[in-house]
Amino acid sequence: MTDEESPSALPPVAIPAFSGPLDLLLHLIRINQVSITDIPIAEITEQYTAYLDAMRELDLDVASEYVALAAELIYIKSRMLLPRPPGAPEEDPRLDLARRLAEYERYKKTAESFHEIDILRAALWPRAETEMPRSAEGETLEVSLFDLIDVFRKASDRYRLAHPPALQIRHLRFSVADKMIQLIDRLEVSGGELALLEFLGQMAYRAEAVTAFLATLELVRLGVVRAFQAAAFGEIHVRRTDVPFAPDQVRDTYR
Partner 1 sequence: MQDTESVAEISPEQERPRETRAEKIRAALEALLFTSARPVSEKDLGDVLGATRDAVRGALGTIGAAWNDPIHGILLEQVAGGWRLTTRPEHDALLRKFHEVTERSRLSLAALETLAIIAYRQPITLPEIQDLRGVNSAAVIKTLFEKKLITTAGRKPVVGTPFFYRTTNEFLIRFGLNDLDELPKPEEIEEDLAATVGDPTAAAAPLPPPVLSSMEEPEDEDDGDDEDDDDDLDEDDEE
198 lines the binding site for partner 1 (CB under 8 A): no
CB of 28 or CB of 212, closer to partner 1: 28
Return the residue of 120, 162, 189, 204 that touches partner 1, per CB under 8 A: 120
Residues paired with residue 226 on neighbouring β-strands, in sequence order: 239
CB of 251 to partner 1, least distance (A): 60
232 lines the binding site for partner 1 (CB under 8 A): no
Whether 55 and 62 have beta carbons less than 8 Å apart is answered as yes
CB of 133 to partner 1, least distance (A): 12
192: closest CA among 245, 144, 154?
245
CB of 33 to partner 1, least distance (A): 9
Residues in the interface with partner 1 (CB under 8 A) total 43
C-alpha dist (Å) from residue 146 to 143, 152, 185: 8, 10, 64
CB of 94 to partner 1, least distance (A): 16
140 lines the binding site for partner 1 (CB under 8 A): no
Return the residue of 124, 166, 167, 204 that touches partner 1, per CB under 8 A: 124
Longest dimension (CA), the chain: 114
Phi, psi torsion values for 195, nearest 5 degrees: -75, 130
Distance CA 129, CA 183 (A): 72
Return the residue of 118, 242, 248, 252 that touches partner 1, per CB under 8 A: 118
Whether 201 and 186 have beta carbons less than 8 Å apart is answered as no
19 lines the binding site for partner 1 (CB under 8 A): yes
Whether 216 and 183 have beta carbons less than 8 Å apart is answered as yes
153 lines the binding site for partner 1 (CB under 8 A): no
For the purposes of burial, counting CB atoms within 10 Å of the CB of 103, is it exposed (0-12), middle (13-18) or buried (19 or more)? exposed
CB of 67 or CB of 80, closer to partner 1: 67
* Footprint on residues 20-39 left by partner 1 (CB under 8 A): 20-22, 30
CB of 28 or CB of 194, closer to partner 1: 28
Give the SS3 label for residue 239: strand
Distance CA 189, CA 193 (A): 9
Distance CA 104, CA 221 (A): 86
* Footprint on residues 58-117 left by partner 1 (CB under 8 A): 63, 65, 69, 100, 103-117
Binding site for partner 1 (CB under 8 A): 17, 19-22, 30, 63, 65, 69, 100, 103-130, 132, 142, 144-146
